[in-house]
Amino acid sequence: MRAIVGSARRANIATALLLLVVLPPLTSHAMPKLVEQHNWLLLDRGIAAAVAAMSLNLLLGYAGQISLGHAGLLGVGAFTAGNLITRMHLPMLLATAVAIVVSAAIALVIGVPALRLRGLYLAIATVLFALAMQYSVFPSHAVSSGSAGVAVPRLLWGHSYLTDNAVFASICFVLFIGAWVIDDNIVRTRVGRAFRVIKENEAVAQSFGVDVVRYKLMAFVVSGAMAGLAGAMYGQTIGHVDSATFDLMSWSLPLVIMVIVGGMGHRLAVVIAAFFFMILPDALGSLHAISPIIGSALLMMTIARHPEGMADLLTIRRRPAAVSDDDDASVPALPDLPLPPASLRSGVVPQPRGNNALLEVENVTVRFGGLTAVDHASLEVPAGQIVGLIGPNGAGKSTLFNAVSGLVRTESGIVRFRGEPIQDLRSDQRARLGIARSFQQVGLAMDLSVRDNLLLAQHQLASYGDTAAVLMLPGVAERESELRQRADVAIEALGFADAADKPVKFMSGGQQRIVEIACLLLTAPDLVMLDEPSAGMAPGVAENLAARLRELRDALGRTVLLIEHNVPLVMDTCDYVYVLDAGRIIASGTPAEITADQRVVEAYFGAAPDAPPPVARRTRKTVGAPS
Amino acid sequence: MTGGVTDLLQARGLTAGFGAQTVLHGVDLDVAAGEVTGIFGLNGAGKSVLLKVIAGVVPTRSGSITLDGTEIAKLGAERRVALGMAHVPQGRQMFRSLTVEQNLRVGAHVLRRRDRSAYAEELERVFALFPLLAERRRQMAGTLSGGQQAMLAVGRALISRPRIVLIDEPSAGLAPAVVEELLESLLRIREQGLTMLLVEQNIRFGLRLADSACLLQRGRIVYSGSTADLDSEQLASYLGVGRLLRGDLDVGLDRRRGVKKEPTGRAGARS
Amino acid sequence: MQTIVLGLIAGVIYALIAVGITLVYKCSRVLNFAQAEIGTLALYWTWWLSGDHHLPWAVGALASIVFAVAVGLLFERFFIRPIATAPRVTLAVATIGLLALLASVEAALFIGSIKQLPNPINAGGFTVAGVVVGPSQMLALVVVAAVALALGAFLRFTDFGLGVLASADDPVAAQLMGVSRAKVSAFTWGVAGALSAIAALLNEPTVGALAPGVFAGLFIGGLTAALVGGLSSLPGAFAGGILVGLIEAEIKAHLVFASMPDLQYVAMLLMVLLVLLVRPQGVLGRAAA
């Protein structure tokens, strides 16, 4: 499926995996004394724990959602499998499959509050879920015989049971590989990037057009499915489960320990940590009671001293290419904001229906409590023009932007995009229609690299389904490499090649702003909304921005709505300007008309000597008296 | 630039950075008492980092910083505040859920510890400078407009009777009329002889306020000296200023030259 | 009525835990999962001094509070301060580590043995309109009210208290005003430790014994209360505590089934989901502008 280059390596990996699958039963049969059944059992438990840890890693390590409810999800898997096998005589593999589906469904239900909430609130809900499961549901007569629990026999078919722990290890290992491959596919595609940006900042995720609800639920469902698999495996390993099997102390907390000590988001390290902590109590012998103390102490040490976890020891540290400390004193090249990709340059100029306006705001009012932030504002942004929105601080400009991009609800009024009302759509839906915006506070995923941010910006251009991505269907990989190429070209043009893989948070505020604008320009959406893009930009970069905006309009026929206090920039680029004051549009016109409007001068430019716009600017000697 | 005894703040050989990246490579900086020193440069040149290193928010890797002769490079930010440093942080950073007056009281944290009776006096001075803050003293700071927040941020810094104020991009995000008003306030404060260290991207604002300039490029100082002596062509090329903002730059420089003072008299005249 | 009194007592105790969680969360962005467990482990000092060695209850209680404050301060100093700027999730996970550590130490030392503590107070108690209010319950109400008022007054009227509130709004800006971040952080964790121990001390007479796991209600009730209060305001946390206490008491009294035990956890889960869906800002919270 992937490139041919990797095929030899893949063949080797496949051979190694096959050996790992075949060896346990062979060893067990040929040399039964070599490894005792007890140790095979330990291996089975280790594999189940590894899958459980991968499940939490997906949720916590990738998507950043803390779950202390995984004990409950594992229990759902084990109790489902147990009941299906003992009461309905389903074969164990079929029962496992059903357990996976049931756990995924339950995870979906606890994931639903995630729709409305950010991060930590959900963690508390998952604790309650685990306790409700442990104390009320698992001991209930519906799923077990009270505190006696339920048996989970390894029923192969009919009346034949699997007793050899080594053969069972092979089966578990095959299932484990399946989970591993799915996890790997997620990481490599837009699904994994969506998870990571959600982990970092949900508002940013939405502005990139990532459907936060959908991906959070997806993380829960996939994690729940893996937990169900792990639970069913564990149940079959030990043969009998009761409500005490899956409690916070024995599963939820140890899983967090495995993921953190291994290293959040580092699958291999998490799997190794899972085996380690599963085997630790046995290795300690009579001291097994201190095993959880060791685990939690390691967790605390890891978080405070070594946040990357054990994974740090596994990866060969790629030293960043030495930042050239001996730069010559010549003026560094200014960053060049990227051009939209070639494939979009041939794009047809968007043809709005009916009239020529791409965006129409009609009588929109936004209120916060008693405060009217936007008061019956109307404006029209014609396709292929740059329209400015200026006004004093607190006039409601950003709120109007939020109303157009869907971050606040309008109380009344209509927002039309290409003639269609959009005021009832979610912000990510509006983003997918072709509306993109920047924020006053930089809207980037700060922990992700410049490259990842540029890839994320192209989320909607990644034209493959998420299911296809999880299964790595043909075409997904090709599409991915195209996106990467585009990001690389943009990085080169910005002059950020040295810093491409550095987290954005290590860049200066102005550089972050440049990356954010680059993300917007890269996708060339039909409507680009910029909220004070030049704030914090060096003068030279602001000039570069002005040139790019004109190019976006002239060469690509894109439309721009611009909030900006940099008066020369507004006057130079805008075709038309609206002035907002106290939530109302008080004037509109060409830049020249606006600068001549006495109301605007009073409300915005101020009567000070140097403040008026460049057309009228001369160095005057009068000293203004600011009001 | 040898300010000698009049240098209130001196930095020598400052280096700083994040992880493997070095942002400042041995920066020397002199801030003369009673002057406004502006730091200019491109994005990523290290202006804000330099300000944060001096504030003590970003650790110094090597080099020394002295405030009125006292070595402060190893001190925490709050210790430097206690020694007379005050801040108008980037983005103004109000305490949104506290009232205007409570914000000012927190600003006077070190003053009240030193001399509780001085607080009432300072409060009156800030209210005299910004009467609007007096009117809104019981209002939550989070509900102030951007311009009012800028006034509060400046007032909150002044109220501690600082010896030096560090100001990070005060005009960012403000409407032109408010920027002008803020500039007038800061010019008035400058006339009272307060020492300021300023980072500002609005070139007109920065040049009009700063007595001396310090040009940063990739973490190194490439110019330091009086703003009035700056060559406009050179400055334009360092900052990448072209046709669009050239007007702003020239206005700023002209203004500076207009108000240029005799270098010998200024330290004494203000204190 | 008796149920309401029981619920109220449990509620004010949950409120103490919730206030500790909220204070730390607001000032240092850390959601402290170990809040209740700190006090629970500390309670063994009261057992050891006052139960086992027959010293006055107050001596044991004081030892517990000192221990809990020490745990809070040490944890803050060595595990939170070095990562003060880490993402919220990371900080929360660090406290999960503390929870796991304290709980596993408790289990390793005391599993299988049930400790009895002396009564904090013997005199007092009264009956109003058929409702019995015991001496320990009176003590709980009085202590919680006193602690809440003292904490509120300290934060609002002292310079340092205002500095703490300022830090909750913007820690870096507060530091730039000369407010020591380290002191604020240590203060909130110290207070949280003390509140945790006080809550555990007041909770013990209701539970009637001390053993690993028996204080799970404090952990869950406190967390739920903090969440119901919106994790943003101390009065909200207080209201959340009382609400959770009342609902829990009603369920324990009226919804008891043999086939499905301990329904209060299911009820709390439903309550949290409901609050999260309907009023994510908490019962007393204001919608963010």
pLDDT for residue B269? 36
- Test the B interface: residue of C177, C187, C233 with most B CBs within 10 Å: C177
A572 touches chain B (CB under 8 A): yes
Sheet strand arrangement including B164-168: B85-88, B164-168, B195-199, B36-41, B212-217, B220-226
DSSP character at residue A307: T
Q: What is the rounded average pLDDT for all residues in chain A? A: 82
Q: Which of B150, B160, B168 is nearest to B125 (CA)?
A: B160
How far is Cα A625 from Cα C147, in angstroms, rounded to an integer? 54
pLDDT digits (tens, 9 = 90+) for B60-84: 999 999 999 899 999 999 999 999 9
DSSP character at residue A31: -
pLDDT band of C280, cuts 50, 70, 90? low
pLDDT for residue A620? 33
Out of B180, B222, B249, the one facing A606 most closely (by C-beta) is: B180
Instruction: Chain B: give the shortest CA distance to residue A366, in Å.
Output: 16
Residue of B nearest to A510 (CA): B43
Residue of B nearest to C183 (CA): B78
Decide the pairing of beta strands A386-390 and A412-417. unpaired
Contacts of A376 (CB under 8 A, 6+ apart): A363, A364, A365, A413, A584
pLDDT digits (tens, 9 = 90+) for A557-597: 789 999 988 888 898 899 999 999 888 999 999 999 988 88
pTM of the model: 0.82
Instruction: Chain A: give the shortest CA distance to residue B202, in Å.
Output: 8
Q: Name all chains with 3 or more CB-CB pairs below 8 Å to chain C.
A: A, B
Using the CB atoms, write b or e for A212-236: b if 16+ within 10 Å. bbebbbbbbbbbbbbbbbbbbbbbb
Half-sphere exposure of A291 (CA within 13 A, CB side): 19
Out of A323, A540, A603, the one facing B239 most closely (by C-beta) is: A540
pLDDT band of A507, cuts 50, 70, 90? confident
Q: Cα dist. A163→A24, A28, A40, A282, C280 in Å?
A: 14, 12, 11, 22, 51
Residue scoring higher pLDDT (A620 or A494): A494
Report whether B47 contacts B40 (CB < 8 A): yes
B76 touches chain A (CB under 8 A): no
Q: In this structure, what token pair is assigned to residue A351?
A: 């043809």
pLDDT band of A188, cuts 50, 70, 90? confident
Instruction: Chain C: give the shortest CA distance to residue B174, in Å.
Output: 20
Out of C80, C92, C103, the one facing A120 most closely (by C-beta) is: C92
Q: Which of C235, C184, C150 is nearest to C76 (CA)?
A: C184
pLDDT digits (tens, 9 = 90+) for A271-309: 999 999 998 888 888 888 888 899 999 999 998 888 888
State percent of chain A over pLDDT 90: 32
Please provide the distance, in angstroms rounded to a whole number, between the alpha carbons at the two ends of chain A. 70
pLDDT digits (tens, 9 = 90+) for B149-182: 999 999 999 999 999 999 998 988 888 888 888 9
> Is the pLDDT score of A321 beyond 70?
no
> Is the pLDDT score of A107 beyond 70?
yes
How far is Cα C275 from Cα C244, in angstroms, rounded to an integer? 12
**3-state SS assignment for residue B168:** strand
- Test the C interface: residue of A109, A118, A131 with most C CBs within 10 Å: A131
How far is Cα A446 from Cα A567, in angstroms, rounded to an integer? 30
Q: How many CB pairs under 8 A join B and C?
A: 70
A25 alpha carbon, distance to own chain's centre? 41
Q: Mean of the pLDDT values across residues A20-27?
A: 77
The H or E element spanning position A168 is helix A165-188
Q: What is the rounded average pLDDT for all residues in chain B? A: 85
Give chain A's length. 627
Q: Which of A444, A440, A442, A437 is nearest to A403 (CA)?
A: A437
pLDDT digits (tens, 9 = 90+) for A543-554: 888 888 888 888
> Is the pLDDT score of A332 beyond 70?
no
Q: Mean of the pLDDT values across residues A134-143?
A: 86
Report whether A259 contacts A60 (CB < 8 A): yes
How far is Cα A313 from Cα A207, in angstroms, rounded to an integer? 36
DSSP character at residue A507: S
Q: Mean of the pLDDT values across residues A464-472?
A: 82
A627 touches chain B (CB under 8 A): yes
Whether residue C108 and residue A289 make contact (CB cut-off 8 A), yes or no, is yes
pLDDT band of C285, cuts 50, 70, 90? low
State percent of chain C over pLDDT 90: 46
C179 touches chain B (CB under 8 A): yes
Whether residue A508 and residue B218 make contact (CB cut-off 8 A), yes or no, is no
> Is the pLDDT score of A163 beyond 80?
yes
C162 touches chain B (CB under 8 A): yes
Report whether A383 contacts A338 (CB < 8 A): no
How far is Cα A411 from Cα C261, in angstroms, rounded to an integer? 47
Q: Cα dist. A30→A24, A43, A172, C274 in Å?
A: 10, 19, 20, 59
How far is Cα B207 from Cα A610, in angstroms, rounded to an integer? 13
Residue scoring higher pLDDT (A217 or A336): A217
Concatenated DSSP letters of B69-125: TEE-TTS-HHHHHHTTEEEE-TT----TTSBHHHHHHHHTHHHHHH-TTHHHHHHHH
Contacts of C114 (CB under 8 A, 6+ apart): C209, C210, C211
Report whether A459 contacts A210 (CB < 8 A): yes
State percent of chain B over pLDDT 90: 52
pLDDT band of C207, cuts 50, 70, 90? confident
Residue of B nearest to C233 (CA): B97
Per-residue pLDDT of chain B (271 residues; tens, 9 = 90+): 444 447 899 999 999 988 777 889 999 999 999 999 999 988 878 888 999 999 999 999 999 999 998 999 999 999 999 999 999 998 888 998 899 999 999 999 999 988 888 999 999 999 999 999 999 999 999 888 888 899 999 999 999 999 999 999 898 888 888 888 899 999 999 999 999 999 988 888 898 899 999 988 888 888 888 888 888 877 887 777 777 777 777 777 776 665 544 443 333 333 3
pLDDT band of A114, cuts 50, 70, 90? low
Whether residue A292 and residue C266 make contact (CB cut-off 8 A), yes or no, is no
